[in-house]
């Protein structure tokens, strides 16, 4: 799948995780890095950013990235809560490619508005039989 959808090609990207101590987050990070290594080899994926599952940390870190070195290039990341709110504020959606790992009311709205390009949304019930 081409997550860039005709947008300008990213030079740098970032992956956010809630914690390195959560196996699911680590597996998602590995998956994102593997995808971009295979499908966007010119993309430099920055060191993983840990958000501690805090909306404010995600929000502030993403704003810093958008106003810093990534402001003129596309940004690719697994955005948690707060990761797409700043895109609405700085209106960089046309330059950024945001990927979220689950569908929430906020991420669904961002998908509809074109702020987010893709949601991975791994269904846990089929992936983990007996998980409730």
| Structural domains in the chain, sorted by start | 12-126 (3.40.50.2300)
pLDDT grade for 125, boundaries at 50, 70 and 90: low
- Categorize the per-residue pLDDT at 76 as very low, low, confident or very high, splitting at 50, 70 and 90: very low
Q: Is the dihedral of CA 15, 19, 24, 30 positive or negative?
A: positive
Higher pLDDT, 73 or 96: 96
Task: Give the residue with greater pLDDT, 25 vs 76.
Answer: 25
Report yes or no: 43 and 74 within 8 Å, Cβ to Cβ.
Answer: no
DSSP notation for 24-76: HHHHHHHHHHHHHHHH-TT-EEPPPEE-TT-HHHHHHHHHHHHHTTTTTS--E
pLDDT for res 104: 78
Q: What is the pLDDT of residue 18?
A: 76
Q: 40 near 62, Cβ under 8 Å?
A: no
| Better-scored residue on pLDDT, 115 or 8 | 115
pLDDT digits (tens, 9 = 90+) for 43-70: 788 888 888 777 788 778 877 777 665 5
* Dihedral sign (CA 35, 37, 42, 47): positive
């Amino acid at each position: 799948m081409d997550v860039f959808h005709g947008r300008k090609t990213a030079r740098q990207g970032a992956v956010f995780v809630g914690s390195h101590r959560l196996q699911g987050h680590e597996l998602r990070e590995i998956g994102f890095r593997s995808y971009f290594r295979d499908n966007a080899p010119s993309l430099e994926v920055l060191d993983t950013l840990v958000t501690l599952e805090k909306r404010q940390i995600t929000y502030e870190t993403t704003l810093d990235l958008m106003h810093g070195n990534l402001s003129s290039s596309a940004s690719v990341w697994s955005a948690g809560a707060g990761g797409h709110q700043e895109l609405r504020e700085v209106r960089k959606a046309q330059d950024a490619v945001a990927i979220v790992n689950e569908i929430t009311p906020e991420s669904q709205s961002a998908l509809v508005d074109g702020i987010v390009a893709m949601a991975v949304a791994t269904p846990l019930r089929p992936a983990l039989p007996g998980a409730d």
